Structure 1
């Protein structure tokens, strides 16, 4: 099969430009630009990436970010979004936007929702208002948001669900995907389906196979990295990927730690999102190519070095570990702002290195380097909490 595989949907396209085994570099063409894959999308649930301005996101190389249709429909409400002609105008962001359908809230707000085959009634944890989310209404919300990539509403099960419960959620996810496809999106939007199946390999395979029969623009792997063992995450992701179309983009929902991304890129995943780098930053942890640093540690009180000497971000060019340690020690919000900026720039540099290593044939060596850094690296706060990346999305 040619390395320039190309799939066109609604005038938009995905093309694979380089390979290293099953890892690949691609270009995703959307209404707001062409994005290189593998790509990491920072999470902007409420129309903002926490502690970052949109000009800073552009400065550090962010191509596309994620918004949440359920939360935005509740606050500020669709009438406000309409005044700005969509989420891009509301945020002042001219890059790409992928919007989650609200399916993750089916999992995360389990105590506040009632679900059946028609849809899900969710009680807002913000103001107590109720919203009945159907596959069609989720699509309509995302059409109003005018995002570049629209996700179908899915039923995300818990890793603890029984086989019977996982079957029910799989069937509901398939039914909702078919309804979403029939309802349709704006001509310039891409529509992605989401494979589910809980922690059961046969159900994962079945979900991916059934969805692959439908003409979606891309496919996501949902319901993983929710607390299950790391090796199980990888095994279930691999089983799912084996049954998804090779020529279309594949998106792992809620994965953001370097080790997890390196493994999944090797399997052929193209897109990632997670609160992982921003959540770590707000708690005083910095991502580096030598592992993770806990900047709150007293060892950095008099350390004049930047977070990472090779980093080109404005934080590393202008501030010492000592200064950022002081900010956290005094409870200053600027500490979280500076580390968020650095961590997101790290993720952009990390993804670029992954793409370069695939293109120049050194991916296997680079993957080993990443795993060595984040399992036995020089950092002092390594990524022992990789499983569970998605829990705070």
Structure 2
């Protein structure tokens, strides 16, 4: 079953997605409860009540039970279970792990899953939990052989109605994981899964698991949904989603209930230790811990299992919301406070020496998010969005003066706006912030507990000063409202002069606005983007006083003909449809009478991101089309639809700028490199090329041919 997955929203390597099955669409991330076909702790009715769209059961156990086998073969697994949504089955690998053997072959269990109509099936892989690398590789090779066997027998095919899962083994060895991924992706599985993690989960070896996840996700194409076998504690869900797992299954909800254990998103309680329930699910609002303890064991087990599943579902909803908001890292940080091993895993991901993890996340991490950063832990100063800024500012700073004042945050507010020296603000999180772009996400949109200037920020600033001198800066000053602080800072940065009102010149209001617009353009779109404007007018918000719109005051005759007149015509069409009055001379009234200025870009209040209008798109296209800077090429099939304003779908993309990240503003070209449209990137460059299903760019404007 090809191309079964699409991304709807992203944060970190986590994604809210749609998994298309023969029995409906599964919203991911999703927890998949394990249902024992012989001893179900909860009923199918309970699953429906809890809102599950998918469960997993064991095809091997069903096959071994003659009556149950005959029932599912006759009626199909969905009718047999009275379930009209998706069903996933495991193949008996767990029993193979426990008992060392199963009384069925790989092809027999694959054929059985196919016959009973499961939506998601798994080949009979061989779990491995111990032994040398060579020993483990033998078992990986056997799983690969079975994948080939299922493919050659005609089950694992691109047109199969079953989503076949390719198990990846080799945890915790990177070389084995890479070997497994390389060989399993030779076959047309629609989904992959990481297995053999039980020992790591039982011993809370989360760092090893997360390291393995980064290896697997770095090597797998991004368009496949990825499952994690045997991960069932809600405290860990956010961490697993952050590193890119889309679904995970477990029977922990039932096993814990059997042992009178009560799950929460931040840990586990034994029922006997609870005086009050810290939860408002239907179970916890109807009963007290004492009442549950007095019940017969079967009834208590059922109610505890229901509570555990309510908690799991609530955490999944919380994670999805965090992804939409762009706060998934913050949610994982909260969960990290609940267990030292989760904290260790989180810290490993953000270790400043961990270049592989950073590169993995940077490629997938959105550039702009819907909520600001709330930094509560030291390692979070190395969040991908923060490290990305420190990398980008080196060549994306717009230098407009040969004089620079390096100021503390307090001092920057004291320096005049029209001063003739460029002001760089020291910051413990971002290190150096040019004053012109201080409102751009995430520079303004963050909070942290740090008040002073971190030594790392000063080390970075020292190196940055050398870079400034290389770029032609001649005079560098240090400033703080308190002279003593300024002296200490100057000594630390090896700067001789403290700014105390020296004549560094002044600039006009028009220059300040132009420099600010150029600085934002260069930071958002890279070096050279500032050159597309030479004269602007700025519109400010009447409530906040911040920049809201940038108008070009240097419009050329060519731009009037190719951009402004077509844009006016499009606006007139909209007015006609709405029954609004039409100007007798639209160009005169909408352009000439307004001072011959035209809207280049609007600025979003939350992100301080430039949202291009047609004129800016045209200028960017003219300057950067040869290098495809922030550009996407689509095929001719999609072109007329995209010009008409339709969404850009991944399957029509033939080439992209590899530096595009989710939420970037991008420009869409045809194969002749003509400008077709512009819009907001939903996916990163890598994902745009991998995916063959779903939207890649939200179209803001289509250009008529």
Which TM-score band (shorter chain)?
A: 0.7 to 0.9
Partner of 2:257: 281
1:210-225 equivalences in 2 (<5 Å)? 210-225=183-198
Specify the alignment match of 2:69 in structure 1: 78
1:64 is aligned, of 54, 58, 82, to 54
Q: CA deviation at 1:365?
A: 1.1
Paired residue for 2:289?
A: 321
Provide Cα deviations, 1:311-366, integer angstroms capped at 9, x if missing partner: 3x321231112211323xxx532111111001011101111111110111111111
Select the structure with the greater relative contact order (CA < 8 A; seq sep ≥ 6): 1
Match of 2:11 in 1: 20
Change (3 A) 1:375 1:200: closer
| Alpha-carbon separation, structure 1, partners of 2:171 and 2:328 | 30
The structure-2 alpha-carbon separation of the partners of 1:268 and 1:351, relative to structure 1 and needing over 3 Å to count, comes to same
Matched residue SS, 1:226: helix
Q: Which of 308, 315, 318 is the equivalent residue of 1:350?
A: 315
Secondary structure of the 1:46 match is: coil
- Gap regions ≥5 residues in structure 2: 343-705
**Structure possessing the higher radius of gyration over alpha carbons:** 2
CA contact (8 A) 2:235 2:264 kept: no
Distance 1:348 1:288 in 2: 11
Q: Which residue of 1 aligns with 2:134?
A: 164
Give the alignment of 1:292-371 within 5 angstroms.
292-297=268-273, 300=274, 303=275, 305=276, 307-309=277-279, 311=280, 313-327=281-295, 331-371=296-336
Q: By how many angstroms is 1:139 displaced?
A: 0.9
1:198 is displaced (CA, Å) by 4.6
Query: Aligned pair 1:43/2:34, yes or no?
Result: yes
- Two-structure CA RMSD over aligned residues (Å): 2.1
Q: C-alpha displacement at 1:290, in angstroms?
A: 4.6
The TM-score, its normalising length taken from structure 1, stands at 0.80
CA distance in 1, matches of 2:341, 2:171: 31
Q: Tell whether the 8 Å contact from 2:147 to 2:187 is kept in structure 1 after alignment.
A: no
Whether 1:148 aligns to 2:119 is yes
Please give the per-residue CA displacement for 1:235-255, whole angstroms capped at 9, x wherever unaligned.
222222221121110011111
CA distance in 2, matches of 1:271, 1:361: 20
> Is it true that 1:108 corresponds to 2:98 in the alignment?
yes
Report deviation, 1:109. Answer: 1.2
Stretches of structure 1 lacking an aligned partner (at least 5 in a row): 1-8, 114-121, 123-130, 378-393
Question: What TM-score do you get using the length of structure 2 for normalisation?
Answer: 0.46
Cα contact 1:155–1:173 (8 A) shared by 2: yes
**2:154 counterpart of 1:184:** yes
Structure 1 residue matching 2:10: 3-state secondary structure: strand
Question: SS where residue 126 of structure 2 aligns?
Answer: coil
1:44-74 deviation line (CA, Å, top 9, x unaligned): 13266x3211111111111111111111100
**SS at 1:373's partner residue?**
coil
> Partner of 1:43: helix, strand, or coil?
strand
Map of 2:609 onto structure 1 = none
